[in-house]
Each structure stands twice: as C-alpha cells, then as structure tokens.
Amino acid sequence: MDSVSFLLVAVILTALAFDFTNGFHDTANSMATSIATGALSPRLAVLVAAVLNLAGAFLSTEVAKTISNGIVDDVKVSPVMIFAGLIGAILWNMITWLAGLPSSSSHALFGGLIGAVWVGAGESAVRFTAIVRKIVIPAVASPVVACVVAMLATYLAYVITHRAAAPAARKGFRAGQVGSASLVALAHGTNDAQKTMGVITLTLIAGGVLGHGSGPPWWVVLSAGLAISLGTYAGGWRVIRTMGKGLTDIQPPQGFAAETSATAVILASSHLGFPLSTTQVCTGSILGAGLGRRLAHVRWGIAGRIAVSWLLTLPAAAAVGGVAAWVAGQGNTGVALVAGVAVAAAVGFYVLSRRRPVNPDNVNEPGAPEPAGRTLDTTV
Amino acid sequence: MGTTWGTIGGVFGVSLGVTVLVVVLFSLGVTAWARAGGGTPRHGARRGRLDTVAAAAAVVCFAACLAIAAYGIELIIPG
C-alpha cells in the first residue's frame, strides 16, 4: 500500500508539473501575435490567457480520454509507465522551450507514453497504425490546412481594407485579434487541461482510489486548471518571441487573420472529432499570414527549424520516456532516481535560460542576430 | 485511412469557409468604420448621411462576427 501511495503522489505531482510546462509552452499559441502587434501588452496578454485557460478547464467536465485514445493498449498501462511518459514529455517541453521552438505538448505527452509503454509492456502494446492515423497524418495535415486558410484570409483582409484609413484599420484589427486570440486560449483550456485531468484520474483508478468509470474529483479539476493557468501566466517568452517576431513580422490584419484561422481550424476539427495540435495549427496560420501579405518576409530558416523539432518530438520524448520507464520499473528507488534526475535537468535548463533571458520587457525585440540558431546550437 | 483524409477535407472546407466569412465581414466592418470617422467625431465637420450609413454597416458587420464567435464558444462548451 505504501509503495502504491508513493507512486501515486509521484505521478500526480509529475502530471501537474507537465501541465505547468504545457501552459507556458502554449501561451504563444493564443497570445504571440497579439503581443507582437501591440494589441495587448505582454503582461496583460498572459493574464488574459491564464484566466481563460482556467475558465476553459472548468467549462468542460467531460473526462479527456485522449491519453488512452487507442494509441497504446490501456489495459497494459501501469502508473510507473504513466510517470515515465510524463517525465519524457516534461523534458522535451523544457528543451524546446529553451530553444524557443513551438513544439506540440500533446505530441510530447503521446511520445513519452509510447516510449514508456514500449519499454514497460513490449512492442505489441503500442498500436502503430493508430499512431500514424491519429498523430502523424494530422501532424502533417493540420499546419498545411491552417497555413492555406490564413494565407487566403490575410490576402482578403489586405485587399478589402487597403483604402481604409490606416490608423482606424489598425485599431479595429487589434480589437478583433484580442477576441479571436481569447477564443484560442479558451479552447486550449478545455483541451489541454483535460489531458492532465485524464492522466491523474486514470492513475487514481489504476491505484484503486477511485472506482472504475468515475470522473475526476473536484480537487483534480481545480489543481489541473490552476497548474495550466499558472504555467500560462509564467509565459513562455522564448516561444512567444519566435512565433510573434521570428517567423515573420506580424501586423494587426495578419494577426487577426492568423488567430481567426487558428480558431476556425481548432473548433472545426475538435467538433468533427479529429485530434490535432493547437501549437501546430497556430504556427501554420502565422506562417500563412506571413505569406498572405505581399512583400512580407518569412524566415524559412526558423520555419525549417520548427519543422525539424516537430519531427523529433515523438521519437525524442519516446526515448526519454523509455529510459525513464526502465529505471523507474526497478522500484521506488528507481522512481525517486528518475524524479531526481528530471528535477535536476529542469533546474539546469532554467539556469541555461538565464544566460540569455527573454521576458515581458524584451519579448518584442528581435534579439541578437539569429537568436534561435545560437540557442539551438548550445542545447542540441 | 480513407476516412481520415475525408475528415481532413471536411475540416479544411469548414474552417476555410468560416474564416473567409469572418475575415471578409470584419474587414468590411473596419473599412466602413474608418469611413465613418474611426469612432472619433471629426472636429468642425458635420456628420453626413453617408457617415451614418457607414457606421450602421460597420455595426452590422461586427455584430455578425460576434454572433459567429458566440457560436464558436457554444462549440467549445460541450453539452
């Protein structure tokens, strides 16, 4: 019993830690363009996103079954594997945050779980066709869809308003952008906070604390909602800079077109029961907004680096999750060792980030020449 | 596999349609609003009838966008 409760506490704390990294990694999705165009001040933007993420966590009481989701055989999943998968996801989120790359937190979570289950329960417990159908194809298609939609929307926005007085148009688009960005933040809260609630609930059921088929207890909803909104409020400024200023120079009409496209794609897909990554949709739509404005400059080097990080997300998180599952599978000492190494690594990444801090005050500055490149070189 | 691509096509079609609708409406609204003086009354000049029409058109466009956004919020909240 003692070992079960120790493991249970470890999994819950790790799940909340993952939720926090999920929050600060994904602030950029909803708020990067609003911060870049000056529609919202950086500090106000993260506050709005945090409040809406918290609200989103409470709006939907439907338990997210995203975790089992058919990607791994959930009968064979043990709390140790969930713990190891979460560690893999957290570490990959920290690495990509340090490099300022918007990579998908959901993919990191899935990758970590796949690796952990593969090592813990064998290759047969991983359903590769389901992975291709539910993760790989959407991962390729969703940014392309968002990019094309945003490109057309941006083009139309500029054509229609090109004779309007510029200051009034700017003001109008900024206001509209705040609205559509808020919808992205709200949708994010209903999706991503649910994933953590699902993980914790599954663990509680597996540990015998909750009966089969029960929903998340109120304290799980509250703590998961708070973790993701605290993370959002902390603001992943490095990722925000890449998405708001790095990919292309966003102007108010582009920001509005990008956020509207992202909202439409996210809502359409979740309504049609099609899982996709908020991060990839938002990145695709920002790229499309850059292409849709004539003479706008898209930095393909940065776009390429983001694409590479997407390719690496599943295997990298899976590798870490697999190693963690093997070590943690040796017993409580193993679990403690994995937790210790993860905390040390997280502290290390934080210290590295202080060497070249990005914060609310300098997030809109272009930074040193090719900042993302150098950061990447020091980490990978 | 076939259904996956079909769903992607559906997502593409729906989001393209909705986005174009919202962005065109909002852009028209912004243009009309700018024509009406951008919300700030011009000093010394009387507001003509055209300005009033433009302001009304802007209000209609923005209201339509808000209605679509409200439908979006309803989709976010299940049940």
Find the mean pLDDT for residues A137-159.
91
Q: Is residue A370 predicted with pLDDT exceeding 60?
A: no
Task: Tell me the pLDDT of chain A averaged across its residues.
Answer: 83
Indicate the number of domains in chain B.
1
Count contacts between A and B (CB, < 8 Å): 131
- Cα A18 to Cα A97: distance, rounded to the nearest angstrom: 13
Residues of A in contact with B73 (CB under 8 A): 183, 186
Query: Where along chain A do its domains lie?
Result: 2-379
CB A249 within 8 A of CB A364: no
Give first-to-last CA distance, chain B, whole Å.
29
Does some domain include residue B16?
Answer: no
Alpha-carbon A90 to chain mean position: 11
What is the predicted pLDDT for the residue at A379? 33
Residue A156's pLDDT band (boundaries 50, 70, 90)? very high
pLDDT one-digit tens code per residue, A173-190: 899 999 989 988 888 887
The pair of structure tokens assigned to A101 is: 């790359």
Partners of A248 in the beta sheet? A298
Domain that holds residue B43: 22-76
Mind telling me how many Å the CA of B78 is from chain A's nearest CA?
Answer: 6
Q: A354: Cβ–Cβ under 8 A, 6 or more apart, which residues?
A: none
At residue A125, the pLDDT reads 78
A248: which DSSP letter?
B
Is residue B30 situated within a structural domain?
Answer: yes
CA distance B48 to chain A (A): 18
CA distances from A138 to A68, A132, A145, A151, A276 (A): 18, 9, 10, 19, 6
Mean pLDDT of A198-214: 76
Write down the ipTM of this complex.
0.85
pLDDT at A127 over 70: yes
Alpha-carbon span A14 to A198, nearest angstrom:
13
Q: What is the pLDDT of residues B1-54, one digit of tens each?
A: 567 778 888 889 999 999 999 999 999 998 888 887 765 555 545 567 777 888
- Nearest CA to A181 among B69, B18, B14? B69
A178 and A172 Cβ atoms separated by less than 8 Å: no
Which of A60, A148, A157 comes nearest B27 by C-beta?
Answer: A157
